[in-house]
Amino acid sequence: MEKVILVTGASRGIGRAIAGHLAKKGNKVIANYNQSEQQAMKLQAELKQENIDIDVVKANVSKREEVKSMVQSVLEKYGKIDVLVNNAGIDQEKMFQDISDEDFRKVIDVNLYSVFAVTQEVLPTMIQNKNGAIINISSVYGVTGGSFATMYSASKAGINGLTKSLAKELAPSNIRVNAIAPGYINTDMNAHLSKEDRKALIEEIPLQRVGEGIDIARCVNWLVEDDYTTGQVICVDGGWE
């Protein structure tokens, strides 16, 4: 059955893979972007060539008013949102002593506050329908922490805590809440790594390969179709952690 699915941060990387994969599975996908309009439109055009239609919508998900407008536009067109994938996120590597208040607030706003804000705006339609799925894209660093990634790790750990708590709160409304914690995935966010660093990381991964966006997308699709899993943080990392 076709589901209406909102994916935040869907123009690049993992979000792009998720949006494309879910659309190919026959769902009505709304792909959110903020700055990467060209990439979002390219995704839409590529899927159109396969006779697959997706919507693209611009919104800074760290801004409540823009989130409200985005969700309202989706509800006006489709009348519901069955699945929310909170994927939007940024990274900023700095030594802890060099982190400014502005740095910290920006990472927390984009990575964690956006999950709070978008979820809060989407929930009324799910509660009314007594059905829904919320899938938050976290990170293995939210479980283990990462050197020079204090802000990022803290934001992702926050997502994990929010996921587990909200899953308990929303279970009576038949709304499932889960998180996926990717490991080392081949995205723009990791493009800065040198060949030596990349090789060293791969040697630490038992499956001996870098993950791809489709690996995360397949897990998202499983959580869309499953109706009994909730409150979980699922590491998709090739056995890395």
184 in active site:
no
DSSP the chain: ---EEEESS-SSHHHHHHHHHHHHTT-EEEEEESS-HHHHHHHHHHHHTTT---EEEE--TTSHHHHHHHHHHHHHHHS---EEEE---------GGG--HHHHHHHHIIIIIHHHHHHHHHHHHHHHHT-EEEEEE--THHHH--TT-HHHHHHHHHHHHHHHHHHHHHGGGTEEEEEEEE-SB-SGGGTTS-HHHHHHHHHHSTT-S-B-HHHHHHHHHHHHH-SS--S-EEEESTT--
Active-site entry in 113, 141, 152, 184: 152
Which residues have a catalytic role annotated? 152
